[in-house]
Amino acid sequence: MNMHPLDWAIVAGLLTVLVWAGLGTRRYSRSVAAFLAAERCGGRYLISVATGMAQLGVITLVWYFEQNYEVGYTSIWWPLLEGPAWIIMGLSGWVFYRYRQTRAMTLAQFFEMRYSRNFRVFAGLVAYLSGLINFGIFPSVSARFFIALCGLPERFHVGGLPLATFPVLMILLIGVSLFFTFIGGQIAVMVTDFLQGAFVNITFIVLILFLLMTFKWEQVSTALLAAPRQESLVNPFHLGQESNFNVWYYMIGVVIMFYGAMAWQGTQGYNCAARNAHEAKMAGILGGWRFRVLMLIVVVLPVCVRTVLYHPDFAAQAASVNGRLAAIPSESLQNQMRTPLAMAAIFPAGLLGLACAAALAANIGTHGAYLHSWGAILVQDVILPFRRKPFTPEQHLRLLKLSISAVAVFILLFSILFRHTQYIAMFCALTASVFVGGAGSVIIGGLYWKRGTTAGAWAAMLTGTGLSLAGMVIKQINPAFLRSLQPHPAWGGIASLSLYLQTSFTGQEMTFWAIVLAVAAYVGVSLLGPRTLFNMDRLLHRGPYAIPGETVDAGDAPKRWWERLGFTREFTGTDRIVTYVTLGWPLVWTVIFVVGTVYNLLADVPDQSWLKYWYGWTWFILACAVLVTIWFTIGGFRDLRDLYRSLRLRRDNPTDDGRVESPL
């Protein structure tokens, strides 16, 4: 057992605060709109911090720990390609703004409004199934993480009965998240996610400070320079032999970010929870700060773990960690367990408890949001459209909770049975693309192109889903089995093709080709079919269909150049300052990226120069993380106060339950 009583006390204290906060939301969650969308009362900082926490999760931490252990600081450089995309998406409110204008509670409800009821059901079912498969590995990854971090035994006894720790811990972790989801729906999920986010941001800063003071930069440099030249951990231009997280991985990531904005529905409850479309836009602008500065831990910690395992000054800790890793038969599981095992050797009592509590908060946040999302999607988008007589609010809420419970049972069983064969990043990319691969075309086309047709939507979804499913199945087949089929006259060709795809393409690359073909299908079928023009003003509640209080310029086209850039009349003076600062950040780093890239293409910059750059970058980002944490925490608590004030004044609307009464 690695945990000291002080560590367990910290974890217990966090749980106590969360339970108290969650129970306080029960009285506000009696309507369907409250359970699904928090009565659309969320402020920008509350949504930004809470959504960031819902998207974090232990699985995301393990994902980045795996990736950054392999590529070190080079994982920072190439994502700077995202800078221009962040600016465009932030100023325009790309997808988020228009989606909030539709007032849809789920993405598939928007699909019915824009396309057809049959397409809503199909898309909802695809989203639900791909989400379940993607979500299915979360409990197992989380349970193994906590077993390694806390040093829990493989078995324990209760009344003389031996029990396996792994499944019992999964049940407990799922059960805690289920509790918060049940007691208050999206309101409880959002409130507790915000509190967890504030706690985690502060904890990460404390842990990073400890790591930077414990590991001398000379020790870190020695460990980083031990990597082969073409698999460099400091020079992003020396990644020629890195087969998984190379330059193409990051370039495809930019495409997916732009194309798949809001397509992934794991946190769909937040997409409709903002007070209005402008508040949703501002939350989207602010949300980028999490991965710009607040996620510094996922770089610093893997680099320090590598230092422990490769620098002779830490030989004793390395021997302990390597000994436990050697007992794990699977290479994939070894990659997952490396960092938590090392964390137990690095952090002293107190800090280990903070790390464990932060990981638990991340786990609760993601599991709660995902349970809520996938359970709601099944009811709202697969069951509700077939219902002739509307549910009563009590029936509706009961069915939602039953559906959420079914999701919990599924992910438990899936985690027990699933065989890990690849990096988490690749598995998540491939499973998500089952829905996102086609949905991105359908969302963007539906919100921005009045020529997009229902037939085009069907073509895109079928193309993206089919290709992604094929890729996911191929990745799960044992290569030895495929080789045994190659001599077979009937199956040899298929086996050879499958083996080629399995060994030559990562999950990220398969996702990219699914996207390309889905876009072609949507545009091609829409243009080749009958010419129809959709009523976008009615869909987006503009002009004669505007709803008072939703927007200040609903029917007016932007007239000034800054309005065309995205600075509409909804922007206050403070909004403009926040936006200038937030979007100025990626602009500055884009300039640094362009200048640095050109310079490195003209001259081979030595690794020692890159080490100096990354040293300065680390401390600069840490200072920014402190400022952003203070900024977001103050803004979030202000929004939390306003949330409760708005909820007390709200009146239930039984018809606001996700139904589409008539086609647009």
| pLDDT, tens digit, 9 for 90 and up, residues 361-386 | 999 989 999 999 889 888 888 888 88
Alpha helices in 297-391 (DSSP H): 297-310, 315-326, 331-346, 351-378
For residues 573 and 566, give the distance between their C-alpha atoms in angstroms, rounded to a whole number: 14
Residue 605 token pair: 């910059």
- Our count of domains for the chain comes to 2
Residues 432 and 403 in one domain: no
Residues 413 and 476 in one domain: no
Question: What pLDDT does 388 receive?
Answer: 79
Question: What pLDDT does 47 receive?
Answer: 92
Is 31 within the bounds of a domain?
A: yes
Provide φ and ψ at 61, rounded to 5°: -60, -45
Residues 458 and 400 in one domain: no
39 in Cβ contact with 33 (< 8 Å): yes
For residues 211 and 191, give the distance between their C-alpha atoms in angstroms, rounded to a whole number: 30
Residues 350 and 374 in one domain: yes
Residues 46 and 177 in one domain: yes
Is 560 within the bounds of a domain?
A: no
Residue with tokens 């697969």: 382
**Distance linking the first and last C-alpha atoms of the chain:** 60
Choose among 495, 488, 451, 489: nearest CA to 474.
495
Is 403 within the bounds of a domain?
A: yes
155-165 burial, b at 16+ Cβ within 10 Å, e below that, comes to eeeeeeeeeeb
Question: What pLDDT does 79 receive?
Answer: 80
CA dihedral 100, 102, 103, 105 (to 10 degrees): -90
Choose among 659, 663, 662: nearest CA to 103.
659
Residues 456 and 591 in one domain: no
Residues 122 and 33 in one domain: yes
Residues 469 and 618 in one domain: no
Helix (H) or strand (E) run with residue 369 in it: helix 351-378
- Residues contacting residue 77 through CB under 8 Å, at least 6 positions apart: 236, 593, 596
User: 511, 533, 555: which is the final residue of a domain?
Assistant: 533
Provide φ and ψ at 30, rounded to 5°: -100, -10
In angstroms, what CA-CA distances link 89 with 85, 254, 258, 263, 279? 6, 12, 8, 14, 15
Q: Which of helix, strand or coil describes residue 624?
A: helix
Q: Which of helix, strand or coil describes residue 157?
A: strand
Q: How many helices (H) and strands (E) does the chain have?
A: 29, 2
For residues 296 and 200, give the distance between their C-alpha atoms in angstroms, rounded to a whole number: 12
User: 502, 517, 533: which is the final residue of a domain?
Assistant: 533
For residues 345 and 155, give the distance between their C-alpha atoms in angstroms, rounded to a whole number: 22
Question: What pLDDT does 582 receive?
Answer: 83
Residues 372 and 467 in one domain: no
Question: What pLDDT does 554 receive?
Answer: 43
User: 471, 506, 533: which is the final residue of a domain?
Assistant: 533
Question: What pLDDT does 336 receive?
Answer: 83
Residue with tokens 């392999």: 70
Is 549 within the bounds of a domain?
A: no
Question: What pLDDT does 155 receive?
Answer: 86
Is 371 within the bounds of a domain?
A: yes
Helix (H) or strand (E) run with residue 162 in it: strand 161-164
Cβ-in-10-Å burial (0-12, 13-18, 19+) of 225 comes to: middle
CA dihedral 28, 33, 35, 36 (to 10 degrees): -150
270 in Cβ contact with 99 (< 8 Å): no
Axis-axis angle for helices 247-259, 507-528 (nearest 10): 40
| DSSP conformation class of 156 | E
Q: How far is CA 3 from the centre of its chain?
A: 29
Residues 621 and 529 in one domain: no
Residue 547 token pair: 């709803």
45 in Cβ contact with 286 (< 8 Å): yes
Question: What pLDDT does 555 receive?
Answer: 45
For residues 193 and 639, give the distance between their C-alpha atoms in angstroms, rounded to a whole number: 13
Is 657 within the bounds of a domain?
A: no
For residues 112 and 119, give the distance between their C-alpha atoms in angstroms, rounded to a whole number: 7
Provide φ and ψ at 241, rounded to 5°: -105, 5
Choose among 596, 629, 599: nearest CA to 613.
596
Domain extent for 336: 5-421+572-649
Residue 15 token pair: 């749980």
Choose among 19, 514, 47: nearest CA to 268.
47
Q: Which of helix, strand or coil describes residue 592?
A: helix
Question: What pLDDT does 422 receive?
Answer: 57
Residues 417 and 476 in one domain: no
For residues 579 and 583, give the distance between their C-alpha atoms in angstroms, rounded to a whole number: 6
Residue 84 token pair: 């221009």
∠ CA(421), CA(423), CA(426), 5° rounding? 105
Is 412 within the bounds of a domain?
A: yes
Residue 315 token pair: 């030989």
Question: Which residue type, as a one-letter code, is found at position 572?
Answer: T
Provide φ and ψ at 164, rounded to 5°: -80, 130
180 in Cβ contact with 18 (< 8 Å): yes
Provide the β-strand partners of residue 157. Answer: 162
- Residues contacting residue 329 through CB under 8 Å, at least 6 positions apart: none
Is 446 within the bounds of a domain?
A: yes
Residues 444 and 380 in one domain: no
Residue ranges, the chain, pLDDT below 50: 241-242, 553-555, 561
Question: Which residue type, as a one-letter code, is found at position 101?
Answer: Q
660 in Cβ contact with 105 (< 8 Å): no
For residues 256 and 276, give the distance between their C-alpha atoms in angstroms, rounded to a whole number: 26
Alpha helices in 158-296 (DSSP H): 165-214, 217-225, 247-259, 268-271, 277-287, 289
